[in-house]
Every structure is written in structure tokens, then in C-alpha cells.
């Protein structure tokens, strides 16, 4: 069995995705909403698409203690010079920059410069965009507490 901490530190994303899927029951996998993805960050990336290569790998999803809410955890990867695209979530996002440098832009708040090791918090419904301003593929661990009846990501 893989040690998830070691896997994330080493950047073993393919195995992390498989490990995350294995950790879900079949009912949880069926209930998990598909996450938008634009290809693999290590594969060919369309230079004209600012979100090409961005991936969100579902690691786990569980019911929250609060009825009607779910706790969801993802590994987000953003290739160099790419961005997540403007989006929001139907609940809070608590995150951690595993690797890389990000400019987290908000529609209604000042931008935040985040580097490897920085935590971040995004309020429910806040429209934001994560722009990779570093020299490597950025890896972010994002945990959400969201309304289980709504899609995890709404793009703008």
C-alpha cells in the first residue's frame, strides 16, 4: 500500500489518483461529481488555452456531519504559465500549496501570492482564479465543505 504523504511530497500524481479512487466506496464513487480537467500537466498542453493541462484529481469524498453537506478533497495541478480559470465552489475551500507558486486572483478581493508550504482559505461562492506564476507544475491540496446537491466547480 502507498503512503499518501510520501506520494504527495514526491509528486506521484498518477498513483495518488488511483489511491484516492481506491479509498472511495463504490457508492461514493457513483455520487462523486465529475471534476473538470483539461488534460494532463505532463502531457502536451495547448499554448493558446490558458487552462490546458489543469487537472483536479478526486482523493476522497465523505458526508459532512452537517446534513446536506459533503467534505471533498482534491489534488489540483496547474502547469507552468497556466491557470485554473475563473470559478467558484458551493462552500468553503481550505487549501495548501504542496509545490509551486500561485497568484490567487479574486473578483471581489485583493490577489494573494502563495508559495510552496502556504495554506489558503476561499469563502463560499467567491469567484477566483489560480494562476501558476512559478517555474514548475503547481500542486495544491484542496479540501471543500460544500452543498452536496450542487456541482463542486462552477466556471465563469
Q: Is the pLDDT of residue 38 over 80?
A: no
pLDDT exceeds 60 at position 36: no
Rounded to an integer, the average pLDDT of 131-149 is: 97
Q: Which of 50-59, 73-82, 107-116 has the lowest mean pLDDT?
A: 50-59
Average pLDDT over residues 37-45: 51
Residue 110 pLDDT exceeds 60: yes
pLDDT over 50 (residue 19): no
Name all contacts of 66-71 with Cβ < 8 Å and 24+ positions apart.
66/145, 68/147, 68/148, 68/149, 69/145, 69/146, 69/147, 69/148, 70/144, 70/145, 70/146, 70/147, 70/148, 71/143, 71/144, 71/145
Q: How far is CA 43 from CA 18, 55, 63, in A?
A: 18, 11, 34
**CA 48/CA 69 separation, integer angstroms:** 37
Task: Give the Cα separation of 98 and 24 in Å (integer).
Answer: 23
pTM of the model: 0.71
Instruction: Domain 4-155: state its class.
Output: mainly beta
Amino acid at each position: 500500500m502507498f503512503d499518501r504523504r510520501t506520494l504527495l511530497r514526491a509528486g506521484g500524481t498518477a498513483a495518488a489518483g488511483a489511491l484516492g479512487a481506491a479509498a472511495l466506496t463504490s457508492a461514493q464513487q457513483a455520487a462523486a461529481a465529475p471534476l473538470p480537467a483539461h488534460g494532463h500537466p505532463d502531457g502536451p498542453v495547448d499554448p493558446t488555452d490558458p487552462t490546458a493541462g489543469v487537472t483536479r484529481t478526486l482523493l476522497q469524498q465523505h458526508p459532512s456531519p452537517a446534513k446536506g453537506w459533503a467534505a471533498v478533497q482534491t489534488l489540483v495541478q496547474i502547469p507552468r504559465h497556466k491557470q485554473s480559470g475563473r470559478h467558484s465552489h458551493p462552500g468553503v475551500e481550505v487549501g495548501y500549496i504542496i509545490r509551486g507558486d500561485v497568484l490567487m486572483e479574486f473578483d471581489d478581493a485583493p490577489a494573494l501570492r502563495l508559495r510552496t508550504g502556504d495554506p489558503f482559505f476561499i469563502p463560499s461562492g467567491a469567484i477566483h482564479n489560480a494562476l501558476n506564476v512559478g517555474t514548475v507544475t503547481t500542486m495544491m491540496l484542496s479540501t471543500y465543505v460544500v452543498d452536496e446537491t450542487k456541482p463542486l466547480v462552477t466556471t465563469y
